Amino acid sequence: MYLKSPQTDTSMGSAYAAACKCGYRVPECPISSTRAQHGRQWWYPHACDTCRAVVSIDLLSDNHACPHCGNEDVVSFEEPQAPEVQQSFWDKLRGKEPPIPENLQDPVSSSFCFVLKKTFVLRKGKHRCPSCGDTGLEFFRTGFFD
């Protein structure tokens, strides 16, 4: 069941859609898991260059292959986490915030997987589209699932 809501995700899975300016569309792309599958499944979007599609892969399974063609060379849309910026004592004292790395400035999702002990950040835009190869693919939250 999908619920439309502008709230941030806490314990339910989030549903996303993806679209590229070339016309490629993905109507449904889940991130995280349902409450019933918590700790057993955790889905995240990947690109498959063989079938030229965006697919969701269960990162807690042993098989990280494309569910359509079986290709094991799928590429995650996860943003690499930048190393923590060291601040001077004076900047910390003044309450100055460290700069946010450019690749993390426009997140559409930031989801923590308790089993993997890792936060997965999905940026809204500028992803390489598996259909046309251009960097016009964008993700949009469409709701939550449980």
Condensed to tens digits (0 to 9), the pLDDT of residues 116-141 reads 888 888 888 889 999 999 999 999 98
Q: Is the pLDDT of residue 144 over 90?
A: no
Q: Is residue 90 part of a domain?
A: no
Calculate mean pLDDT across residues 59-84: 85
Q: Are 111 and 14 in contact (CB under 8 A)?
A: yes
Burial (CB < 10 A; 0-12, 13-18, 19+), residue 107, is: middle
Q: Are 29 and 36 in contact (CB under 8 A)?
A: no
Residue 89: which region, alpha, beta or left (left: phi > 0; alpha: psi -120 to 50)?
alpha
Q: Is residue 53 part of a domain?
A: yes
Q: Is residue 86 part of a domain?
A: no
Q: Is residue 95 part of a domain?
A: no
Could you report the per-residue pLDDT of 11-53, keeping only the tens digit for each? 478 889 999 999 999 999 888 888 888 888 999 999 999 999 9
Q: Is the pLDDT of residue 95 over 80?
A: no
Burial (CB < 10 A; 0-12, 13-18, 19+), residue 98, is: exposed
**Residue 101, amino acid:** P
Q: Is residue 128 part of a domain?
A: yes
Q: Could you give the number of structural domains in the chain?
A: 1
Q: Is residue 93 part of a domain?
A: no
pTM of the entire predicted model:
0.74
By residue range, what is the domain housing residue 60? 2-81+101-145
The confidence score (pLDDT) of residue 86 equals: 67
